Amino acid sequence: MKLWNFHGGLRLDGHKQDSTQLPPRTAALPARLVYPLPQRGGVLAQAQVAIGERVLKNQVIARDPLDQQPPLHAASSGFVVAIEALPLPHPSGLSDLCLVIETDGADEALACSGVEDFRQHPPAALRRLIHEAGIVGLGGAAFPTARKIAPGSRPIDTLILNGAECEPYITCDDSLLRHHAAAVLAGGAILRHILGAGRVWLAVENERTEALAALRSAQAGGTGDIEIVPVPTLYPTGGEKQLIQVLTGREVPNHGLPADIGVACLNVGTAAAVYRAVVHGQPLIERIVTVTGRGVREPRNFLARIGTPIADLIGQAGGYTEAAERLILGGPMMGHALPRDDLPLVKAANCLLIAGRGEFLAETRALPCIRCGACAEVCPIHLLPQQLYWYSRSGQLERAADHQLSACIECGCCDVACPSRIPLVQHFRAAKGLAAAKQREREHADHARQRHEARAARKAEEQRERAAAAQRRKANLDKAAAVKEALARAKQKRATKAPTPSPEPHPADSEASEP
Amino acid sequence: MRFATPPSPYLAPARHTPRIMAEVSLALVPGLAALVVQFGPGVLIQCLVALVAALLAEAAALRLRGRPSAATLWDGSAALTAVLLAVSLPPLAPVWVAGFGAVFAILVGKQLYGGLGHNPFNPAMVGYAVLLVSFPKPMTAWLAPLDLSAAPLGFAETWNAIFQRELPEGLGFDALTLATPLDSLKNPSASAAIPSVGAGWAWVNSGFLLGGLWLLGRKLIDWRIPVGFLGALSACALMAFLWDAAHPPTPLFHLFGGATMLGAFFIATDPVTAATTPKGRWIHGAGCGALVFAIRAYGGYPDGVAFAVLLMNLAAPTLDHYTRPRVYGT
Ligand code: SF4
Ligand code: SF4
């Protein structure tokens, strides 16, 4: 099959073998499970259970009141012991409402059953089922899957299952493909049915030979209509836009969605979760997560329950080494450093990277930009980072926007290529934040102006109405006066002429003429 | 456990700017060696003078601007500017020429614009151009290559010549120096001397070419600029040669004479002052090459590299603006 290239990219040392030496393991049931209630997009899910209530595994414990985000399910049985502000897995270290379950060890589950033959069910019903199963994208962005596979502006002709895990160190998708290839393929078949996609491609980095072999042998047992495509090992091939470009040669329009070019791209972990939800009725209560880096003794992959405290998992990976220095959620290119380890594992958490001293760059002072262009050479979006840096640093947001700052995917390639060690991405994030704030302000101002204009228009209208009314009144008065005058004139005429009886004598007239 | 939370990405960059400067300086060694072999130790003394002057000027400027000096002073950029200027100077030029040139290059060519990365013009070429305009006589008095020179000077004699303007008994500056072969382009009657006189320069250019190829191999410079430069220069020279073959110079003479290779690989490629987009770099390189030919053939100065590069520096922002690559998805 023909593959295309994207501009730039980096060949990085993958460090994938670090966490795949040891076989994956199912993480032990923790004493507490913690579920942050803030959801993607800033909505707060509402607890569906009360403090003190016993919950069962698979039970819905919280729901987005707007139903935009899928519900949260308990990963084991136990008692709800708190709904309180706890630190969230975020670099800011901010706290927000979390629901805490103390597990009781029984691991008693709600019975769940899937559908017999998904082909007998309409896509809408399956989407609903996927939504109710709490499934979000497991590649790291946690976008609700049911919304991603909802019918869009044009039909989907191509479904891409993304197994090109290009960030160094992360191997959770690799582990999934090695050990659960059949589930991924089965999930792909279901997604294809829902989307009505003509073709399905499953992309895996060509260096993941075990995963490719596992997929091929799983395929030998059926579901042969999914094409397995080895793609070059080049960061960021696993980025949605890059992978689509590599496979189809098409570009997702700037500010557009893959659906706009007839493509749907889902992570392989998401496909496996869809399979379990549809065929077995299992909600998303666990995921594979990589625990790796020089700061942890036994790097490996875990099948861990969502809500498990991060410190628990690190403990099960042999604990910290003396060198442990940094805790990163995600990979070294796009991950976020966490300030502490008493934080829960969320659905989006694909990797816990515990960096050892000297493993990564210490924070250094940036040197001036020498315009060497190394950043532009590696940018997969074909931006000019050095110009963006210049504009965003000097606050020229319009020029930065003109250079398509908003198209930056924050992949970090430019940063790593920059010999002056300028934290470019940091500047871009800041500038984007600023631009967004400005935009909101502008919208705010627009709203205010519109409100003001509407009020002014209303007032003007009222005034016009009033003026018109006054005029009408005046006109009426004038008419009345004219009538009166005419009457008076007629009376006068009558008085001068011989009195003739009126055909219909007015009572007043007759009264007046009576004496 | 508590951890620091710096923003991603966390991977260490492959290269570091001071190291790039050091490697570019290292790449000058073959050319420098050829210069020493052909023209004697004066070249090294000029380098030394320029280095000292440039670093002193940089330190003074950083102090005046209240900038932290240690890291910037040793980032290698001032040293590289000094060496690029020094190898362009006549080897016996009096000490104040290199000193003044280096100080001017750093203070006016670089620091006045805000230091490394902010200068629109290549500082070494700013220094060179100012020297050439202000002091044309010492700037155009090149030593004859050693194999043509009757009595090559030793290190001590050269030192005295540069610092004290003293020459050994019986020698005069006029006897030692010679206009560069490029001068003969302006003076057709001397053209008979070209092939032999050009020989020393061919060695020097080969040295810079060697260093330049190494830089290309290490991907420290963008290949488009030297290829554009040499391509355009060859094309112009070839056309002129075909037009009037009776009168050399040949294209080879253009390529291996004067500062051609130094300009193509070390000066026009200065990232700070060159165009940055791929297409822009093509045009930038080709523009430099064409201008070098034009100035050599029709201009008032023997070699055009400095002015050609400075002129293209002037055009670089415009080139960048009109050669922006198409962004993904637009
Ligand atoms: S890589 Fe760094 S130094 Fe080079 S142009 Fe980009 S920002 Fe400037
Ligand atoms: S972070 Fe943005 S600007 Fe930098 S390489 Fe990636 S897409 Fe390009």
Whether residue A340 lies within 8 A of chain B, CB to CB, comes out as yes
Q: d(Cα B79, Cα B56) in Å, to the nearest integer?
A: 11
Query: What is the 8-class DSSP label of residue B265?
Result: I
pLDDT at B326 over 80: yes
Output the pLDDT for position A496: 72
Q: How far is the CA of A375 from the centre of ligand 1 (A)?
A: 5
**Average pLDDT of B251-255?**
86
Alpha carbon of A43: minimum distance to chain B alpha carbons (Å): 25
Give the tokens for residue A398.
């319009």
- Contacting residues for A121 by C-beta, under 8 A, at least 6 apart: A115
Whether residue A418 lies within 8 A of chain B, CB to CB, comes out as yes
Could you read off the pLDDT of B100-127 as tens digits, one per residue?
999 999 999 999 998 888 999 999 999 9
Output the pLDDT for position A221: 65
Q: Cis before residue A236, ω within 30 degrees of 0?
A: yes
According to DSSP, the residues that pair with A72 across neighbouring strands are A62
Could you read off the pLDDT of B189-201 as tens digits, one per residue?
444 444 444 567 8
Average pLDDT of chain B is 86
A388 vs B156: which has the higher pLDDT = A388
Intervals of chain A under pLDDT 50: 502, 505-515
Question: Closest to B271 (Cβ–Cβ): which among A340, A371, A383?
Answer: A371
Q: Cis before residue B195, ω within 30 degrees of 0?
A: no
Q: d(Cα A175, Cα A301) in Å, to the nearest integer?
A: 7
Q: Are A176 and A269 in contact (CB under 8 A)?
A: yes
Interface of B with A in 58-117 (CB under 8 A): 71-72, 75, 77, 115-117
The tokens 């700070």 sit on which residue? B272
B273: nearest CA partner in chain A: A371
Q: d(Cα A311, Cα A447) in Å, to the nearest integer?
A: 47
Torsion of CA B254, B255, B261, B265, to 10 degrees: 120
Banded model confidence at residue B176, pLDDT cuts 50, 70, 90:
low
Q: d(Cα A370, Cα B328) in Å, to the nearest integer?
A: 25
Give the helix/strand (H/E) hosting A215: helix A209-219
Give the tokens for residue A478.
């004038």
- Of A333, A369, A381, which is best to mutate to test ligand 2, by the most ligand atoms within 8 angstroms of its C-beta? A381
B70 vs A111: which has the higher pLDDT = A111
- Contacting residues for A86 by C-beta, under 8 A, at least 6 apart: A34, A36, A95, A96, A98, A100
Q: Detail the DSSP E strand segments found in A37-157.
A: 46-47, 54-55, 60-63, 72-73, 78-87, 95-103
Which residue, by CA, sits nearest to atom 7 of ligand 1?
A386
Q: Please judge whether A425 and B7 are an interchain contact, meaning their C-beta atoms are less than 8 angstroms apart.
A: yes
Could you read off the pLDDT of B5-54 as tens digits, one per residue?
888 899 988 789 999 999 999 999 999 999 998 888 889 999 999 999 99
What predicted TM-score, i.e. pTM, was given to this entire model? 0.84
Torsion of CA B114, B116, B117, B118, to 10 degrees: 20
Q: How far is the CA of B77 from the centre of ligand 1 (A)?
A: 15
Coil, strand or helix: which one is B317? Answer: helix
ipTM for the assembly: 0.87
Q: d(Cα A68, Cα A123) in Å, to the nearest integer?
A: 18
pLDDT at B177 over 70: no
Q: Please judge whether A332 and B9 are an interchain contact, meaning their C-beta atoms are less than 8 angstroms apart.
A: yes
Could you read off the pLDDT of A150-161 as tens digits, one per residue?
988 789 999 999
B214 vs B170: which has the higher pLDDT = B214
Q: Are A76 and A100 in contact (CB under 8 A)?
A: no
